[in-house]
Amino acid sequence: MSADINLTFYNYSNAADNPEIVIFQKNVATSFEELTVAWKVIKNCGQGDYHPFSYPMEMKVSASDSWGNYTPQLDAQNGQLFAMELTASGDQLILLGNEAASPNEIDLANNLKQGAINANVYKDGRLLATKTNIPPAQKAVFEFKPTIWIGVASQIVEGQVMNSAVLSEFNTELSLLGIASADIYMTGGGPGPTSTPYQFTLQNVELA
């Protein structure tokens, strides 16, 4: 597995309204309306302040069943297939091997005879993506490009699903492909008629 990518957010904006910075990834394996989770929210980072954080390559998966049970988080890699199965001890999440439909996906199947499940993917201990109400004999498919989306929003809770109206405001996608570390500069903003849209750029990029 690759090492973590070290990122540092810098607030070089003219913002006077203490904006909240939201970072997330999109599950590109599905074409229909997808639930998008606020993976990281940076708050109270004033003008000139900076906020270091890491973007690990590693992911974890877990599931919950219709009985209100939650599985432990299991290490997950692209290409792996997991399944929720009824065992002698009850419902358990099991790694079935490198049997995902694509080497770029993580698949999580509902192999229970009854009851829907929810599938969750975590990165750096925070919820990255979720798929709810997966019926028996169906599966959740997760695939992420090596990019993050970033933007300014308010009243967004880390780890919760964002609605489509909020998502339509986010149009900055930053590629992390081949990067070991980088700074993210936020510029623009500000009060009054001279304000400009917020902009996010990668600076001081060090390649892996």
Distance CA(109)–CA(190), nearest Å, equals 47
The pLDDT confidence band at residue 42, using thresholds 50, 70 and 90, is: very high
Rg (CA), the chain: 19
pLDDT in tens, 124-170: 999 999 999 999 999 999 999 999 999 999 899 999 999 888 888 89
| The Cα angle at residue 65 between residues 62 and 67, in degrees rounded to 5 | 140
Specify the amino acid at residue 125: G
Structure tokens at 63: 């599931």
- Tokens 């700074």 locate to 183
- Given a contact cutoff of 8 angstroms between Cβ atoms, the answer to whether 148 and 25 are in contact is yes
What are the backbone dihedrals phi and psi of residue 165, each rounded to the nearest 5 degrees, phi first?
-65, -40
pLDDT in tens, 52-74: 999 999 999 999 999 999 999 99
This prediction's pTM: 0.93
Nearest to 75 by CA among 106, 115, 112: 106
- Given a contact cutoff of 8 angstroms between Cβ atoms, the answer to whether 167 and 36 are in contact is yes
Cβ neighbours around 200 below 10 Å, total = 22
